Amino acid sequence: MAAARGSLLMPAGGLLVVLCVVVFFVQSVQAVNATAPANSTSLLSVIDYSPDHVSYSGNIVTLKMDSQSGSRVHSVGRYAYGVFSADIKCPAGDTVGLIPTFYTSSLEGSEYKDELDWEFLGKNSSIIQTNVWVDGVGKREAVHDLGFDCSQAFHKYTIDWNPLRAKWFIDGQLVRTYVNTGNASEYPTKPAYAYASIWDSGYPGEGWNGRATYANAPYFYQLANVTVSSPGSSTGPSSAPRPAPARSPVGSPVRSPVKITLPGRKLFR
């Protein structure tokens, strides 16, 4: 009888353990937002540094860059794939060395980050760079001619990312497609925040984008109508390493460090 009761209790105890594990796992996994807030101000509401360089006005987010600092903002939640879009106007004047950005990232600063980037290259306001990062490895840059000066007017920049491919559009025109070939080390899959920033790629050297002069500082980088439309269906640890992403650096320019802090000067990507 005792043995029979014991054998009846075993499945119940086992089930309890399984439930506890499931509850713990669900709680330890970051939830993913399926829908974005309705306006730029509420969407890009998290300020990573230099809050005095960020201002919100209606549907416009303005990031200020001067010789002391730029700034970076991001969304509250992460999105598991989605269409990330913003109307953007670059800062005017001599912007050599500065990089205004709009991008997705599983977690900026993480050595395992996945990213899809728009990066204006301040040395030339008629071009833009796109890039793809997987498990902390980028080096998939492409540079595109805008056909206009990005500091003259707002234009719409979109990243349309799904499990099969990522597409970059400017004013609705496709400029790049990056396909998931099935190699997990080559395609971003981690749920991602929407980010925007302006940073100095050059200091203290020349770098790949020239050395900033700050001749026309302060600079103002503006994003309006920032939206994310996401199926948001998957959840999972957003910056966990995948096994053996080992890949030796080859070719193309190395990106500046994520964060450089120097006396009296804060420079971040």
Chain contacts with ligand NAG (rule: CB under 6 A)? 31, 33, 37, 39, 41-42, 58-59, 76-77, 87, 124, 126-127, 145, 154, 183, 185-186, 224-225, 247
Count of alpha carbons within 13 angstroms of residue 93, beta-carbon side: 14
Helix (H, G, I), strand (E, B) or coil at 25: helix
Q: What is the nearest approach in angstroms of ligand NAG to the Cβ of residue 260?
A: 26
The token pair at 92 is 């005017």
Exactly one of 108, 115, 141, 206 is catalytic; name it. Answer: 115
Q: What is the nearest approach in angstroms of ligand NAG to the Cβ of residue 75?
A: 8
Residue carrying structure tokens 């990330």:
84
Question: In one letter, which amino acid is 13?
Answer: G
How far apart CA 186 and CA 164 sit, in angstroms, is 12
**186 catalytic, yes or no?**
no
Q: What is the nearest approach in angstroms of ligand NAG to the Cβ of residue 245?
A: 7
| CA geometry: angle 52, 58, 61, nearest 5 deg | 45
Exactly one of 119, 141, 186, 206 is catalytic; name it. Answer: 119
- Which residue's C-beta sits nearest to ligand NAG? 77
**141 catalytic, yes or no?**
no
Question: In one letter, which amino acid is 210?
Answer: G
Of 175 and 267, which has the nearer Cβ to ligand NAG? 175
Of 87 and 117, which has the nearer Cβ to ligand NAG? 87
Name the burial class of residue 235, with classes exposed (0-12), middle (13-18) and buried (19+) by CB atoms within 10 angstroms of its CB.
Answer: middle
Of 53 and 123, which has the nearer Cβ to ligand NAG? 123
How far apart CA 47 and CA 108 sit, in angstroms, is 12
Q: What is the nearest approach in angstroms of ligand NAG to the Cβ of residue 68?
A: 27
Of 41 and 55, which has the nearer Cβ to ligand NAG? 41
The catalytic residues are 115, 119
